[in-house]
Amino acid sequence: MVQIGFVGLGIMGRPMSKNLLKAGYPVRVFDLDKKAVADVVACGAAEAADCREIAAGSDVIITMLPNSPQVREVLCGRGGLLETARPGTVFVDMSSINPIASREIGAEAAKRGCAMIDAPVSGGEPKAIDGSLSIMCGGDRAVFDRVADILKVMGKNVTCCGGLGAGNTTKLANQIVVAVNIAALGEALMLGKRAGVDPETIFQAIRGGLAGSTVMEAKAPMMLAGDFKPGFKIALHIKDLNNVLEAGHAVGTPLPLTATVMEMMQWLRSQGKDVLDHSALVQYYERLAGTTVGKDAK
């Protein structure tokens, strides 16, 4: 049986690692949050004292971390995974980071005789819990094939998008579409509210038409309830859009809609709201319009 190491037990990593355990994989975990570690260990995982211990005993190592600097430090830094990883180890970085960083870190792994794919996810906490994430992968096809069955435990749609970095490029494209959809949804519901049409009625009327989407189904109920408990925090979406803009500038693509939504999110951050779910983008419109779309925000 493949021995799996898992580093990063946040909102997404914790349920993802539990699904691997449910599927019968032996999993050794590490995170600085000891409560998160204890929770996964209670489900059958083994605890590692540090990254070196994870690497020494794992065939496949999954990382689920906040951003490029953390992934680089965990793999390449002093005491990192690459110090003790055995040749042939496969690293599966499921963090959402800059694709340029993915390629650079992958090159360092290759120097140690290890392989890497980038495999960021979409779907938020609910789909991490039920194992139905969309997983966008980049890397050598043969390496992808070695870990595809493991990825399918955590995701319903698992796609190899191209070479290393292609997964994160695809994820950045996903984050553009999600961000702009959430902003448009908030704008549309506020139009209804100000015009005297019940936003809930608007949602029910348009959800089955061309405007309907997974984003609408997930985020409209939160806006209408004024419940912004984070499944995916605004702060994390800001991080992703920073990577979008950086990558876009590097290849010379125009990103005017991304830049606009980024400014909306940055304003919410200035108001201390970046800890809320990204559906709280509607609060940008609520502040400007002087009314709420749904119930008072929680």
**Catalytic amino acids?**
171
Q: Which of 103, 50, 118, 106 has its CA nearest to residue 81?
A: 50
- Reading the block at residue 60, the tokens are 């496949």
Task: Give a three-class secondary structure readout of 118-170.
Answer: ECCEECHHHHHHHCCEEEEEECCHHHHHHHHHHHHHHEEEEEECCCCCHHHHH
Q: Tell the residue number behind the tokens 């890497």, with chain if given.
A: 116
- Residue 27, strand partner residues: 4
Q: Which of 121, 62, 119, 49 has its CA nearest to residue 89?
A: 62
Please, how many CA atoms are within 13 Å of residue 256, restricted to the half-sphere of its CB?
0
| Helix (H) or strand (E) run with residue 7 in it | strand 4-7
Please, are residues 89 and 110 in contact by the beta-carbon 8 Å criterion?
A: no
Nearby residues of 192 by Cβ (< 8 Å), 6 or more positions away:
198, 199, 201, 202
